[in-house]
Amino acid sequence: MTPTKGTRLVRPHTARRNALPRLLGSLLLIAAAGFSGACAVPEASAADSDAAARTLRPLGQVVPAPVSVRAGGDPFLLTPDAGIMTTPSSGEAREIGEYLADVLRPSTGFALPVTDKDAGGGIRLRIDPRAGALGAEGYSLTSRSDTVTITARKAAGLFHGVQTLRQLFPARVEHDSPQKGPWRVAGGTITDTPRYAYRGAMLDVSRHFFSVDEVKRYIDQIAQYKINTFHIHLSDDQGWRIAMDSWPRLATYGGSTEVGGGPGGYYTKAQYKEIVRYAASRYLEVVPEIDMPGHTNAALASYAELNCDGVAPPLYTGIKVGFSSLCAGKDVTYDFIDDVLREVAALTPGRYLHIGGDEAHSTSHEDYVTIMDRAQAVVGKYGKTVMGWHQLTGADPVKGAVAQYWGYDKTSAADRQQVVDAAKNGTKLVLSPADRIYLDMKYTDQTELGLKWAGLVEVRRSYDWNPGTYLAGAPEEAVLGVEAPIWTETLDDSDDIDAMAFPRLPGAAELAWSPASTHDWDTYKVRLAALGERFTAQGIDYYRSPQVPWPASETNGG
């Protein structure tokens, strides 16, 4: 059994779909037109309706900002007899319809049956292979008085369109209990496609271990903002978090602790596959990371033969970096790398295997190049694309490799140039500048959680940079996308993640999705402020940055 985290309660996933979704759906279908007694939906008064009409959210006031918005026409009104109509004979469209229904049913109290037959008014979800201009992830959303229609060429685009629709409904739609209507969406049409193909978020489960349910909760949160890649940091000095048949002590011993000396934990192969499956249901590709040649103390402690001197170090529960290294001169090192990457590759249907490569301060340059070059060959051997932190460019990046840049203001010009030169030679870049979108950096000196080695990162600083021009000299076409990592030296539960990821995560998502022409702090902060009530409805205790004009109810803690 995977070690647990004592008696800590794990809050439901953000989308509230996972504890009892089918039972809830069945009960609502029986209720059909609503609830009765204590579960009744509060009846909206005429004053409530007038207030709702005055506060109807403008069609383009969502995060990430859409490519094109044409507002106009009567707003759509979701009624108790509405249904969700999906493309006939499309299992993916139906699954997305069920997902949307599970979002809307608890707060509206409506039955919202999902059907592939045209039932008149309601929400229509269409996959149309002829909609070539929308690409693999784009969508169009048209709102009229009796219908909202979301059209996409692929299922991923349909799912992203559903996230936009969620934001266009009043924020109270995110509650898990009946709320007052009306449920209106402004009239008009949105046409939307992403700027970058890679839009990522990373969760470090090595410094502190997070349960499968906690990971799913974060997946639900990031999916709402059209993130399409979930990078999971599975190994480090403080813990090894995935079971390996070939090297079982990696998990059972190397995963037995965490920062501060807690019980740690690890995922069985079945649990890891469940995370991968769940991410796929939210149209996220999983990128697993096995860090090397540094950040390896948990592995070195588990197997003495991996150490150059044959002596296993003790398990480590601190937060220092750069002191551990695999042994370049031992054949067993390469057996270990092959075995581990083979098993992880077999469990992961996605394209990438991330092999780390950062902060290898205890590895000579020659040994670093030897290990990383051989590890890259193993990644290719098992049919995957190499990813690594940008120090990989100090070795010999293979053709098609992706370097993840985490540099910041104090990064030397020589290190930056090394990355730029690699980009000019064909290496793709994912940008994660630490002093911009490392979500574990403190907001201010008063922030209780987080670290500040890369500086203090308030919400505006996190948002206000352009990925296309960030690395001077790097070809803009070399930028594959943007990723927001969250490291967990000081974070040990979902509440801690919430406090550091929100409200900065939606800004990172906008940088990755929205066209550069929409980038403007003054308009973004207004759209971000409108998400405050939504965060609260979802149980996210976010940082109320004074840079953002939150509604009074939010700044007062409401």
Report pLDDT digits (tens) over 377-428: 999 999 999 999 999 999 999 999 999 999 999 999 999 999 999 999 999 9
The answer to whether 387 and 356 have CB atoms below 8 angstroms apart is no
Is residue 557 predicted with pLDDT exceeding 60?
no
Catalytic residue among 137, 174, 289, 359: 359
* Rounded average pLDDT over 238-250: 98
| CA geometry: angle 516, 504, 184, nearest 5 deg | 80
66 CA to centre of own chain: 19
Listed range (14-23, 215-224, 242-251) with the worst mean pLDDT: 14-23
Residues for the chain: how many in total?
A: 558
Dig out the tokens for 238 from the structure.
């403080």
| Buried/exposed 413-429: b ≥16 CB within 10 Å, e otherwise | eeebebbbebbeeebbb
Sheet containing 83-86, strands listed edge to edge, beginning at the edge strand earlier in sequence: 68-71, 188-192, 139-143, 147-152, 122-127, 83-86, 114-115
Q: 54 to each of 48, 170, 188, 518, how far by Cα in Å?
A: 10, 12, 17, 26
CA–CA dist 181, 482 (Å, integer):
37
DSSP category for residue 109: -
CA–CA dist 404, 4 (Å, integer):
32
**R_g of the chain computed on alpha carbons:** 24
pLDDT bracket for residue 556 (50, 70, 90): low
Is residue 39 predicted with pLDDT exceeding 50?
no
pTM of the model: 0.92
* Rounded average pLDDT over 81-104: 96
The answer to whether 215 and 221 have CB atoms below 8 angstroms apart is no
Dig out the tokens for 151 from the structure.
């059209």
359 is catalytic: yes
pLDDT digits over 169-179, tens only? 999 999 999 99
Dig out the tokens for 268 from the structure.
């069985």
pLDDT bracket for residue 117 (50, 70, 90): confident
Enclosing H/E stretch for 201: strand 198-204
pLDDT digits over 505-531, tens only? 999 999 999 999 999 999 999 999 999
* Rounded average pLDDT over 358-375: 98
Spell out the alpha helix ranges (H) of 151-198.
155-168
pLDDT digits over 330-349, tens only? 999 999 999 999 999 999 99
* Rounded average pLDDT over 25-31: 34
- pLDDT, the chain, mean: 91
Question: Based on the number of CB atoms within 10 Å of its own CB, is 109 exposed (0-12), middle (13-18) or buried (19 or more)?
Answer: buried
Comparing CA positions, the residue from 241, 238, 93, 63 lying closest to residue 163 is 63
Pairing of strands 68-71, 188-192: antiparallel
* Rounded average pLDDT over 311-338: 98
CA–CA dist 419, 429 (Å, integer):
9
Q: Angle, to 10 degrees, between the axis of helix 212-223 and the axis of helix 269-281? A: 20
Dig out the tokens for 194 from the structure.
């992403």
Is residue 133 predicted with pLDDT exceeding 80?
yes
DSSP category for residue 18: S
DSSP category for residue 85: E
Is residue 294 predicted with pLDDT exceeding 70?
yes
pLDDT bracket for residue 89 (50, 70, 90): confident
Question: Which residues have a Cβ under 8 Å from the Cβ of 254 and sit 6 or more positions away?
Answer: 235, 239, 240, 298, 299, 301, 302, 315
CA–CA dist 439, 61 (Å, integer):
24
pLDDT of residue 55: 61
pLDDT bracket for residue 320 (50, 70, 90): very high
pLDDT of residue 33: 33
